[in-house]
Amino acid sequence: REEPLWARHVYVDENGSFGWKANGWEAAALQEELKDEAVVAWLRNFPRKSRSLCVPYDFGGQHKGLYPDMIVFRLIEGRLVVDILDPHDPGRDEAVEKAKGLAAYAEKHGDQFGRIQLIALDKNDTIRRLDVNLPGVREKVKRLESSPQLKALFGE
């Protein structure tokens, strides 16, 4: 069983906990989410499982799959809203292509979700979010050509 233990996961043990050894960015994002009283549950979207949400993207001429880390369920004005959250280092090799893939997914399926966010921590460990379900943000992401541009967009 992994640790630490987290509350409000869709699949919990008899004590109401779910074990997940999240990395620093994932843990920071999840801790912030769980502060929101509107969050009723969340799901760790395990990579490469038949039941997992997979967002397609292209990298170097190859079709690949992005498995966003978390799916969060919020109760907003009596309505269940589903969010897709992916904490990810914008400096990594595939970060721009993954961002564009998530933006394309949001363009096609965004009406079925609340937030569809790329999440990063800045040098001060402040959480930064890009919600590609917002048309203006999505358009900026679609025009990205490099990691420094993606990092700059997180800074806006």
Secondary structure of 49-115 in HEC code, one letter for each residue: CCCCCCEEEEECCEEEEECCCEEEEEEECCEEEEEEEEECCCCCCCHHHHHHHHHHHHHHHHHHCCC
- Whether the per-residue pLDDT at 22 is higher than 90: the answer is yes
> Which residues, listed in sequence order, are joined to residue 79 by a DSSP beta bridge?
76
pTM here is 0.95
Containing 119, the helix (H) or strand (E) segment is: strand 116-121
- Cis bond upstream, residue 4 (ω within 30): yes
pLDDT digits (tens, 9 = 90+) for 39-59: 999 999 999 999 999 999 999
